[in-house]
Amino acid sequence: MQLLIAIPVHNEEKYLLDVLQQVRQYHDQILVVDDGSKDRTPELLATVQGVHVLRHEVNQGYGGSLIDAFGWADGRGYDWVITMDCDRQHEPQRIPDFIRAIRTDRWDIVSGSRYLAPDQGDDLPPQDRRSINATMTCIINDLFGTSLTDSFCGFKAHRVKPTVALGLTEKGYAFPMQLWPRAIAAGLRITETPVRLIYNDPTRHFGGGLDDPSDRMTHYLEVLGEEARKAKGQGTRA
């Protein structure tokens, strides 16, 4: 089983080297997708040996970085990709939990959940983020008959071939609103594993007009609604 850890970064000079050092304690095949960083991130990456780097000269968005990571892994024969952020909100020591789930060969997506096992000394999330996550997770469960507890956590393990086959195109933060409907429609086997809820910087911006919670919610609903309509149409034609 060939496994890759993929880490999308955008202006992460503050945490980059420390996170990479920690990740290397658990796995040595690492891809950093530098999504058009304008700080010292590219300079720091140039000093790191043994880490693959894929750079976007222009910012493509969080989802675009993940899509490119899946394509990069597929082209090089990796079977699985674990995606994680570089802001110290995803703990590298949880990587073995994902690897254990992968080795059962029972799943195609192993998704981290910050709400599956509460009372771990977790941080309190910003209210708008928790509310939007909870609302969108409930809508997904109602639409598709799933039992997700955290639809937005980016700490995930993805089986590469079926993930690439989903034809994902959503490049922004609404990426999960496309991933879940397509994964469910494709019959991918999905499970969750608990991860800690950590917010080191609740003031971080989404950008692109999504900092306003109502606009962000509207955008997520639009993407999810479009995917739900596509899924319904495909089911009708079948």
pTM of the model: 0.91
Residue 126's pLDDT band (cuts 50, 70, 90): low
Quick one: which of 218, 224, 217 has its CA closest to 177?
Answer: 224
Q: 91: how many CB neighbours lie within 10 A of its CB?
A: 16
pLDDT in tens, 54-85: 999 999 999 999 999 999 999 999 999 999 99
Helix (H, G, I), strand (E, B) or coil at 234: helix
Say if CB 113 and CB 153 are below 8 A apart. yes
Amino acid at 43: E
Q: What domains are there in the chain, each with its CATH number?
A: 3-237 (3.90.550.10)
Distances (CA, A) of 94 to 44, 66, 155, 184, 201: 25, 19, 9, 25, 20
pLDDT in tens, 152-198: 999 999 999 999 999 999 999 999 999 999 999 999 999 999 999 88
Strand order in the sheet with 52-56: 52-56, 30-35, 3-9, 80-83, 156-159, 109-113, 190-194
Say if CB 73 and CB 66 are below 8 A apart. no
Average pLDDT, the chain: 91
